[in-house]
A and B are shown apart, each in its own frame.
Chain A
């Protein structure tokens, strides 16, 4: 059964550094998402992507964040200048109606 994959599984970075989180969505899906989950809290929507452009974004997704689909398979989330409060689990998901989640990248900003 196809699955969403994400790399890396863990990322530790210094405050102010740029990070890129990578995802490979399920191949026939058309909608892609990034969510984040601060430890012990709810799953928060960041952004959705369809037809090679952002279709919706939350107030969390400010100018420090960007997404890209650089080729036919990868979907990336870039955080330009990380802050302490960016520490969280970041989940990618893809959908053809039902959203399936990747295993997540645990980001720790020191």
Chain B
């Protein structure tokens, strides 16, 4: 089945700096790559997603890049703010929508 590797597991940045989280996946048939943000005790919330027909997508301070050849995708957060502090999960669907597999999560801490 699909295997998603995510790193780093923890990341501390100064407020205003950028943060980058990287994921690799194993199933070349995967075509959908969402990113979720989970605050303590809350549900995972979709923050951005990308489909395999594009290489990059941006939404204000958040961007995601996808390299299908290398089977990796990354989340970039610019101008980080304290409220960006959370656990971020990458995910991918494998073949179809029967299953969305999550990475292990990255705990991001933005230091004011």
Q: Which of B35-50 contact A (CB under 8 A)?
A: 36, 38, 42-46, 49
Q: Are A104 and B43 in contact (CB under 8 A)?
A: yes
Q: Are A91 and B97 in contact (CB under 8 A)?
A: no
| Interface-lining segment among A14-22, A62-70, A71-79, A92-100 | A92-100
From A31, A43, A100, A103, give the contact of B89 (CB < 8 A).
A43
From B42, B45, B102, give the contact of A43 (CB < 8 A).
B102
A102 an interface residue at 8 Å Cβ cutoff?
yes
From B36, B42, B43, B100, give the contact of A33 (CB < 8 A).
B100
Inside 8 A of B105's CB, which chain A residues have their CB?
42-43
A44 to chain B, nearest CB (A): 8
Q: Given A42-B89, A42-B104 in contact, is the A102-B99 Cβ separation under 8 Å? A: no
Across chains A and B, the number of contacting residue pairs, with CB separation under 8 Å, is 54
From A99, A102, A103, give the contact of B100 (CB < 8 A).
A99
Q: Are A48 and B99 in contact (CB under 8 A)?
A: yes
B101 an interface residue at 8 Å Cβ cutoff?
yes
User: For this complex, into which size category does the number of interface residues on chain B fall?
Assistant: 20 to 34
A86 to chain B, nearest CB (A): 19
Q: Are B34 and A98 in contact (CB under 8 A)?
A: yes
Inside 8 A of A99's CB, which chain B residues have their CB?
34, 46, 91, 100
Inside 8 A of A35's CB, which chain B residues have their CB?
102
Inside 8 A of B99's CB, which chain A residues have their CB?
33, 45, 48, 56
A52 an interface residue at 8 Å Cβ cutoff?
no
B105 to chain A, nearest CB (A): 5
Q: Are B46 and A100 in contact (CB under 8 A)?
A: yes
Give 6 closest A-B pairs by Cβ, nearest first.
A56-B98, A101-B43, A55-B98, A43-B102, A42-B104, A56-B99
With A97-B97, A100-B46 given, can you name 8 additional A-B contacts, CB distance below 8 Å? Answer: A33-B100, A42-B102, A42-B105, A43-B36, A45-B101, A55-B98, A56-B98, A98-B46
